[in-house]
């Protein structure tokens, strides 16, 4: 692999203008096409094979698409100055309803002046609009048009807000500020790392090209698959981080070779042959970890996984092609526009730290475990549960609609259950008695606040009951009501429960069922890749364990901020209006059931990046002289500065994304930032060196039978030594493909 990468790097360095032009065409073409033909987003959390999906299918088959998902739009009315039944206000509402009835695809409009349409205070009302024949992918635009038709009510002083979170989510969450902040912070770190502006701009430029290409591809794919609204944000977050980091690793190696007097093209060739191999391997581990999410059985999570993987692929490709092209075009001007002189003693400082750790490995190991245990301890309080619009940004339509609905009709009205029952021929023949028994059974379930009049389809074989619980969608007790209704047993009646709450309940159950499988596959495949790269079983197993340790710190931070609530306000989570000081200070937010698994996959892959670069440097030092403790110190010295700079960039990018109003993005920003910071300092600076010193020769031991059957891969890291320097003989030969 190193020879192939070396030839690729050399060719790109010699034909820099062609490579740069090709990447410009690809990035501009994909991004431009995506913007010109913007695809819809979908937060469809349906899971095939679940009861909620069965209820949805039955509802659509038995009652038509107008009762299916996206078939109903609701508008909330609020009069701050008096009741909605006042003549002038009522006339304005009726005028609005008349205009709504003329809109395309509207088949039925229920006035708020019907039974159950007005709140008890008469100041909050609900217009329900039934749609048919519309494009479900453009529901957000349709909703906005219907809301616009209610302008007569607004002219009368009423507030009109679309309900059900049906405002365009992609318009509530706009890209821009967080990316800019992250890029600026990354640029500052790069300037301090390299001391020259030209060198600092290379990783930034390469990362922006890779992100633009990845987003363009993702945007176009949105026409053929359901794309979650967070897909582009996640791809940008991860793509920026790894894109800058991978280019940073290559650039650091290239500048060291230039300083040794190696010609430019040859330096680029060696850089891509050595460090490029580590980049490809590191990117591969991230992609494998993300691909394992397809085993979770949750389409939304699987989509987020492979979409994020696209951004990683783009980052790897730009690193091994565009970065060499830029280095070849710039030549020695890569060191132009010097801002200040960087210190050459940083490597010695990190080597000194490695030697210090090597001198007291047991004490360092114990202290590191204690600190990491303290960081992970809050994870025991991690609160897993569904999020609802009540946790949205203050001032957004979805948050305002949620609060009005809860105030006027109770918290359960924000997530009504759709109970759909299949009746056998005998039960259907019984007519009203069977339907009444079902309705009475649902009403008797603890936690049910209201059951609407049953609707029976034309065949008499399907019954639909809209049910409102006493609990908000994010309340764990709502899931209990779902399970209790599903447990109803009546002769000839097969009960299913759908709706948002039921779907989130099924998602949580599916995640709990599949999480062990996904974790096992990610850990085993990552360990196998490390085994192939280093031909050292102990190192492979140890690396997997170390990555799990950094995950503990990430989950501890999530629990502290969101589950305990200490700092949720600082990351922009807005408590309900009129909250007390303590409620504001400790405002708790549930973590979506699929977030820990997604976070696990992303973090496991990213942590492996730093493990690869550190281990390859240690391995090369050990291959030269065979001194274990010395190789640990040298490996830490040669990679410490680069890994620290890369980690600072990652942390800056992830922290910047905490500013997004979406709660899921905030949880990822917090978890990723903390995990990377802990991984690059405590784990790579202290825990890994200490364990490697204690393991001694066992680090690179490999049974003869295993050594014979393993393919000979070559993954080179970021070493200080010239590639042409012959390796001295040492007492213990080590067979490793590095």
The pTM (predicted TM-score) of the whole model is 0.79
| Mean pLDDT, rounded, for 1-7 | 78
Per CATH, domain 345-397+515-721 is 1.20.1640.10: yes
Residue from 84, 383, 401, 41 nearest 227 by CA: 41
pLDDT band, very low/low/confident/very high, at 660 (cuts 50, 70, 90): confident
Q: Which residue has the higher pLDDT, 195 or 716?
A: 195
Residue from 600, 614, 606 nearest 677 by CA: 606
Token pair for residue 208? 């922006």
345-397+515-721: same fold as 1-38+196-287+297-325? Answer: yes
Distance spanning both ends of the chain, measured CA to CA: 11
**Domain ranges within the chain, ordered by starting residue:** 1-38+196-287+297-325, 52-171, 345-397+515-721, 406-505
Rounded to an integer, what distance in angstroms lies between the CA atom of residue 547 and that of residue 334? 35
- Torsion over CA of 387, 242, 523 and 591, rounded to 10 degrees? -10
pLDDT of residue 77: 92
pLDDT digits 0-9 by tens, 584-642: 667 788 888 888 888 888 888 777 777 777 887 888 788 788 787 888 888 887 777 78
Rounded to an integer, what distance in angstroms lies between the CA atom of residue 420 and that of residue 438? 10
Calculate what percentage of the chain has a pLDDT beyond 90.
16
Average pLDDT over the chain, rounded to whole? 81
Residue 218, helix vs strand vs coil? helix
pLDDT of residue 314: 93
| Mean pLDDT, rounded, for 539-565 | 85
pLDDT of residue 124: 92
| Mean pLDDT, rounded, for 108-112 | 90
Give the side-chain half-sphere CA count within 13 A for 186: 33
Q: Which residue has the higher pLDDT, 19 or 57?
A: 19
pLDDT band, very low/low/confident/very high, at 172 (cuts 50, 70, 90): very low
The strand pairing partners of 106, in sequence order, are 131
Of the candidate ranges 4-13, 134-143, 363-372, 398-407, the one whose mean pLDDT is the lowest: 134-143
pLDDT band, very low/low/confident/very high, at 581 (cuts 50, 70, 90): low
pLDDT of residue 719: 40
pLDDT digits 0-9 by tens, 386-400: 777 877 777 778 888
Which residues touch 118 (CB under 8 Å, ≥6 apart)?
Answer: 84, 85, 112, 124, 125, 126
Q: Classify 1-38+196-287+297-325 by CATH class.
A: mainly alpha
pLDDT digits 0-9 by tens, 413-427: 888 899 998 888 776
Q: Which residue has the higher pLDDT, 123 or 574?
A: 123
The strand pairing partners of 566, in sequence order, are 586
DSSP state of 538: H
40 pLDDT above the threshold of 80: no
Q: Are 201 and 187 in contact (CB under 8 A)?
A: yes
As its CATH architecture, domain 406-505 has 2-Layer Sandwich (3.30)
pLDDT band, very low/low/confident/very high, at 177 (cuts 50, 70, 90): low
Question: Is the alpha carbon torsion for 20, 25, 30, 36 positive or negative?
Answer: positive
pLDDT band, very low/low/confident/very high, at 209 (cuts 50, 70, 90): very high
729 pLDDT above the threshold of 50: no
734 pLDDT above the threshold of 50: no
pLDDT digits 0-9 by tens, 59-84: 877 776 555 555 788 899 999 888 99
pLDDT band, very low/low/confident/very high, at 366 (cuts 50, 70, 90): very high
As its CATH architecture, domain 52-171 has 2-Layer Sandwich (3.30)
Q: Which residue has the higher pLDDT, 322 or 453?
A: 322
DSSP state of 710: S
Calculate what percentage of the chain has a pLDDT beyond 70.
88
Write the burial class of residue 704 (CB in 10 Å: 0-12 exposed, 13-18 middle, 19+ buried).
exposed
Residue 263, helix vs strand vs coil? coil
| Mean pLDDT, rounded, for 228-252 | 84
């Amino acid at each position: 692999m190193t020879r192939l990468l070396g030839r690729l790097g050399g060719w790109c360095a010699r034909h820099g203008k062609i490579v740069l032009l090709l990447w410009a065409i690809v990035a501009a073409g994909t991004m431009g096409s995506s913007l010109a033909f913007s695809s819809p987003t979908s937060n469809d959390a349906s899971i095939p094979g679940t009861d909620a999906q069965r209820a949805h299918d039955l509802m659509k088959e038995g009652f038509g698409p107008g009762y299916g998902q996206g078939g109903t739009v609701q508008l909330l009315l609020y009069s701050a100055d008096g009741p909605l039944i006042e003549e002038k206000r009522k006339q304005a509402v009726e005028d609005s309803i008349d205009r709504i009835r003329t809109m395309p695809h509207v088949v039925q409009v229920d006035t708020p002046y019907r039974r159950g349409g007005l709140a008890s205070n008469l100041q909050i009302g609900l217009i329900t609009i039934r749609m048919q024949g519309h494009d479900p992918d453009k529901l957000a635009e349709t909703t906005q048009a219907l809301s616009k038709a209610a302008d007569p009510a607004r002219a009368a002083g009423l507030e009109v807000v679309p309900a059900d979170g049906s405002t365009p989510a992609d318009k509530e969450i706009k890209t821009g500020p967080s990316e800019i902040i992250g890029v600026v912070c990354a640029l500052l770190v790069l300037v301090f790392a390299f001391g020259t502006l030209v060198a600092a701009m290379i990783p930034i430029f390469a990362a922006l090209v890779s992100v633009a290409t990845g987003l363009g591809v993702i945007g176009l794919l949105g026409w053929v698959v359901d794309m979650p609204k967070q897909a582009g944000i996640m791809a940008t977050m991860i793509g920026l981080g790894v894109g800058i980091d991978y280019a940073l690793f290559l650039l650091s190696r290239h500048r060291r070779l230039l300083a040794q007097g190696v010609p430019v093209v040859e330096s680029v060739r060696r850089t891509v042959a050595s460090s490029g191999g580590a980049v490809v391997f590191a990117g591969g581990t991230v992609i494998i970890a993300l691909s394992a999410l397809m085993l979770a059985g949750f389409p939304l999570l699987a989509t987020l996984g492979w979409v994020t993987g696209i951004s990683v692929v783009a980052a790897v490709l730009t690193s091994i092609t565009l970065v060499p092209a830029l280095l070849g075009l710039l030549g020695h001007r890569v060191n132009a526009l010097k801002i200040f002189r960087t210190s050459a003693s940083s490597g010695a400082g990190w080597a000194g730290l490695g030697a210090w750790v090597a001198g007291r490995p047991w004490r360092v190991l114990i202290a590191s475990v204690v600190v990491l245990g303290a960081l992970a301890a809050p994870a025991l309080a991690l609160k897993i549960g569904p999020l609802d619009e009540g946790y949205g940004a203050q001032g957004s339509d979805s948050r305002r609609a949620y609060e009005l609905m809860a105030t006027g009709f109770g918290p359960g009205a924000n997530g009504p259950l759709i109970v759909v029952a299949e009746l056998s021929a005998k039960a259907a023949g019984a007519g009203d008695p069977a339907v009444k028994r079902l309705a009475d059974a649902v009403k008797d379930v603890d936690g049910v606040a209201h059951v609407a009049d049953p609707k029976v389809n034309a065949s008499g074989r399907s019954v639909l009951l809209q049910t409102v619980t006493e609990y908000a969608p994010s309340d764990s007790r709502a899931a209990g009501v779902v399970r209790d209704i599903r447990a109803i047993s009546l002769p000839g009646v097969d009960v299913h429960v759908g709706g948002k709450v039921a779907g989130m309940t099924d998602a949580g159950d599916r995640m709990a069922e599949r999480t062990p499988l996904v974790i096992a596959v990610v850990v085993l495949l990552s360990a196998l890749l490390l085994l192939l790269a280093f031909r050292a079983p102990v190192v492979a197993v140890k690396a997997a364990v170390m990555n799990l340790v950094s995950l503990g710190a990430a989950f501890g931070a999530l629990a502290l901020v969101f589950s305990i609530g200490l700092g949720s306000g600082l990351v922009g989570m807005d408590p309900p209006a009129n909250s007390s000081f303590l409620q504001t200070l400790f405002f708790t937010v549930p973590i979506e059931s699929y977030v820990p698994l997604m976070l696990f996959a992303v973090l496991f892959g990213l942590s492996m990046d730093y493990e690869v670069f550190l281990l390859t440097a240690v391995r090369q030092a050990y291959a030269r002289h065979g001194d274990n403790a010395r190789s640990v110190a040298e490996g830490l010295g040669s990679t410490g500065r680069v890994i620290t700079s890369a980690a600072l960039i990652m942390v800056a990018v992830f922290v910047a994304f905490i500013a997004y109003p979406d709660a899921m993005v905030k949880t990822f920003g917090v978890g990723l930032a903390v995990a990377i910071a802990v991984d690059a300092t405590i784990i790579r600076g202290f825990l890994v060196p200490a364990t490697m010193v204690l393991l001694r020769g066992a680090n690179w031991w490999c049974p003869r039978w295993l050594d014979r059957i393993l393919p000979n891969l070559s993954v080179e890291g970021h070493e200080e030594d010239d590639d042409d320097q012959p390796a001295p003989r040492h007492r213990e030969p080590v067979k490793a493909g590095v």
